[in-house]
Amino acid sequence: MQASLITKTLDSIEGTDSTKIAVLDMGSNSFHLVVARVISNSVQILHKTKIKVHLADGLSKDNYLSQDAIHRGLEALEVIQHSLAGFEPETVRIVATYTLRKAKNALDFIKAAKKILPYPIEIIAGKEEARLIYNGVAHTETLVGKTLVIDIGGGSTEFAIGEQFDPLLLRSIDVGCVSFKQLFFKDDKIKRKMMDKAIAYAQQQLTLIEQKYLNLGWDKCIGTSGTIESIVTILNKGSTEGVVTLDQLEQLMETLIAATDVNTLDFGDINEDRKLLVPAGLAILIAIFKEFNIEQMSFASAALREGVIYEMEDSLTHTNVQERSVQSLASRYDIDINQANLVLDTCFRLFKQVKKPWQIKSTGLKQLLGWSALLHEVGLHISSSGVQKHSHYILTHSDMPGFNAEQQQLLAIIARFHRKRIRLDEIPVFSQFNAKEVLYLIILLRLSVLLNIKRQQGFLPDFDVTVIENQITLNFPENWLNQRPIIDINLTLEKEKLAKVGIELLFL
């Protein structure tokens, strides 16, 4: 009886649906891989891998990534690829932060990386990084009241204030422990003069954001990631439990200055690479404590990669941050929802019929096309003249949580060319989307906008679309176009514009 009961229990457990997901965080100092399992709407971390890459060390003053740094990054990906064997594209997210945000030749690295890992690489904006870090903390800590979360990375530092799962204020500044080491502690020597300069420089950068944070306020402060973890561990004698204060930080600073060389210090289990970054990280953290009037800080082990994982789990259970961003913009700029939905429906009708013959394969393009349809008229908030340019500006510069840099840029570009001439030389090169796919999405939105020019429900009939290579034919019911000369004229003009970008438009 007991054995039978156990067997039934095991069968029940084994029958529970689960999904294995992976997140790779390509940071300025290290690459972090986390593999997890989503089961019964919860996340179980299976294993983690960290590889020191020192990507930021290879970023020049004019923001070019050295070949040595690129090579180190690619070598790390060669190791990581074995852990990702067999993962489906929708179960893997690769995010890149400060160094690849800044590098003018980031596309060179990404192109080489895609030959090793067949998954999209997302360069995320600083605010998006802050949001995801907060998301990781919110899902792994019990947050009561407003919480300030701080993450000192290799090239930037992220700040977030939120309540429970909702971020309220997000910022990122270009101050990081790797860049500070290069500026102030390049030879690993620790001098009071350089420490004071480092703290003052960080304080100067913090003045750009501090007042908004002080005005909003917080009840608890939490630090995350390796730099803060090292400092907390040193001050708490090998443990990340407990809190740290400004007095403790300044006492540690005095210890460092007295030693004169960080290499002579024994920090217990802190590894050598991380130890060399302690003076720079400490200078930044002291500046933050002073400018934000922080009394004490605790540590949380979750950060960016955990935030991405929990967001993937949310998306698997149909909660979508991107949808909320789009809805927020639509509401803020008071778009014509009825017209947006007409254009959206036509876009999806066209997309369904052209996807296979045009071989549109990149993940998420249908959603991005739909969101561009919903938001293409946000520029009307500025002016109806040149609306496409105004929409491009708004979508480029708005905060859009949930979208990586290229996804947001693609939305803006599709909106930019939803009318008037298509200028191919103004369309950027994307790493996640190929040039043909981008052009096809632009064409689909243009046709959808044109066909809904009357802005009337029920105006557009059922019609078929056929595609043969770069020829697209719209087949309308008999005499429908003859009775609507404005549509006929506009399609004729559109035919001329599309011919200039290598697309033949026919309509019957």
Whether 214 has a pLDDT exceeding 70, the answer reads yes
Render pLDDT for 46-56 as a digit per residue (tens, 0 to 9): 888 899 998 99
Render pLDDT for 371-409 as a digit per residue (tens, 0 to 9): 999 999 999 989 888 999 999 999 998 888 888 888 999
Position 134 confidence tier, pLDDT thresholds 50, 70, 90: very high
Whether 3 has a pLDDT exceeding 70, the answer reads no
Lowest mean pLDDT across 176-190, 319-333, 345-359: 319-333
For residue 468, give the H/E element and its range: strand 464-468
Give CA angle at 302 (299, 306), nearest 5°. 170
Render pLDDT for 424-436 as a digit per residue (tens, 0 to 9): 989 998 888 889 9
**Per 3-state DSSP, what percentage of the chain is helix, strand, and coil (rounded to 5)?**
50, 20, 30
Q: Which residue has 């095991």 as its token pair?
A: 10
Please tell me the distance from the alpha carbon of residue 315 to that of residue 317, in angstroms, as a whole number: 5
Please tell me the distance from the alpha carbon of residue 494 to that of residue 292, in angstroms, as a whole number: 56
Please tell me the distance from the alpha carbon of residue 301 to that of residue 48, in angstroms, as a whole number: 13
Render pLDDT for 163-204 as a digit per residue (tens, 0 to 9): 988 899 999 999 999 999 999 998 888 999 999 999 999 999
Which of 256, 297, 275, 279 lies closest to 198 in space, CA to CA?
279
Q: Which residue has 């369309």 as its token pair?
A: 427
Which of 203, 178, 155 lies closest to 279 in space, CA to CA?
178
Q: What percent of the chain has pLDDT over 90?
A: 54
Predicted structure pTM score: 0.78
Q: What is the predicted pLDDT for the residue at 17?
A: 61
Q: Which domains does the chain have, with CATH numbers?
A: 17-124 (3.30.420.40), 127-309 (3.30.420.150), 320-457 (1.10.3210.10)
Q: What percent of the chain has pLDDT over 70?
A: 94
DSSP lists the bridge partners of residue 30 as 52
